[in-house]
Structure 1
């Protein structure tokens, strides 16, 4: 998904039209990705490296005797020993287990080299946290918390995570419940799933304007405090 020049212009016009109805400030940010999630593959690599040897041991593998496989040889029905002591065999077995763990860790971690695989393997609740944190950072970075009357509203969309969020300032949360904003976001996400991202954002802007106009109608002395355009990051 992406926004064309025409989409950006339409969103800017929607913000301008919306703010003609309310003293609230509506701001839109679209992010290509909020995090790279590379660390998740390191976590999975470590998890696999730990669990696989444990599973093998649960099925009868004994690391302390594993080394005997490499210190004895069968030839013509005779056992040929190489003079290794039980301690040598145990040490060899532990080295083999460590080598297996290292190989497993590297193989799983290397999956991160495939574009987008880390994000796909990241649990949804972690992605939601990352999107919320990014939205909050953008809210503060663009000064929405400094608007007159504390009526700033951020519509934040993260394309890679396929998630969106609305953050409203304190002045709005005292009068508008979060359930109302969830419904607004629901329409945006539904439109985005149908490959109509710009349409979904405009719907969210229009719904936000309707909600804000009820509690914060436009005043004659209102000043447009924030740019009426979508920010792409």
Structure 2
């Protein structure tokens, strides 16, 4: 399992924080970047993988080597299910095979929304918080904004930036893609929400993990 804390190097974390700082010098908007290992534990998918692969393996073994004995099949199937279920924790690609794409999308969106409120992005003075949310297991990126920003920028527009970040991560250029899109969204924020004379940094610029 890829760990959120080590997904970006320390140098990349500093680059992300610097990018956010640079953006916020031009806008009253508040930008937060966050990366999590997964948006859900997907217990039903782990069980499905375990019993599907474990059961099939047990069936093949008993059929070929153990005389098709039910007495051997049941314990083998149970042990196989337990082993494969454990393996899904170490091998995310295996787990993803048993999770519908729609569920991946839904869980990431829900986790991003929860994080938006947990990290207090809804408390900014002008309701101009923006969350760049990366979920590693799902290979998904979600961008959420507060009500003040949605008056000027649609969620569909933000998702185009999110998709570019996801593509960059798949290509091994996650930091570059994230910083590029933070700057792109920042330019839009600056045009609609220019910085004010009494502006203060209300949220941390450091990359958050969870």
Structure 1 length-normalised TM: 0.71
The structure 2 residue matched to 1:19, chosen from 17, 21, 24, is 24
Deviation sequence 1:7-64 (CA, Å, 0-9, x none): 000000000000111110000001122222232233466789xxxxxxxxxxxxxxxx
| Displacement after TM superposition at 1:145 (Å) | 0.5
Deviation at 1:170, TM superposition (A): 1.0
What CA distance in whole angstroms lies between the structure 1 residues aligned with 2:140 and 2:118? Answer: 20
Structure 2 segments unaligned to the other structure (5+ residues): 54-69
Q: Following TM superposition, by how much is the alpha carbon of 1:100 offset from its aligned partner in structure 2, in angstroms?
A: 6.9
- 1:120-155 deviations in Å (ceiling 9; x for gaps): 421221111111111111111110001111110000
**Structure 2 residue matching 1:165: 3-state secondary structure:** strand
- Runs (4 or more) in structure 1 with deviation over 3 Å come to 43-48, 99-110
1:81 maps to which residue? Answer: none
Over the aligned positions, Cα root-mean-square deviation in angstroms equals 2.6
Deviations 1:160-204 (A, max 9, x none): 211100010111112211221122112211211110111111012
**Structure 1: gaps (5+ residues):** 49-95
Max radius of gyration: which structure?
Answer: 1
Partner of 1:10: 15
- How many correspondences in the alignment? 188
What is the alpha-carbon distance in structure 1 between the residues aligned to residue 200 and residue 48 of structure 2?
Answer: 49
The question of 1:150 aligning with 2:124 is answered no
Using the alignment, how far apart are the partners of 2:27 and 2:14 within structure 1?
21
Where 2:26 maps in the other structure, the secondary structure is coil
The structure 1 residue matched to 2:44, chosen from 35, 39, 45, is 39
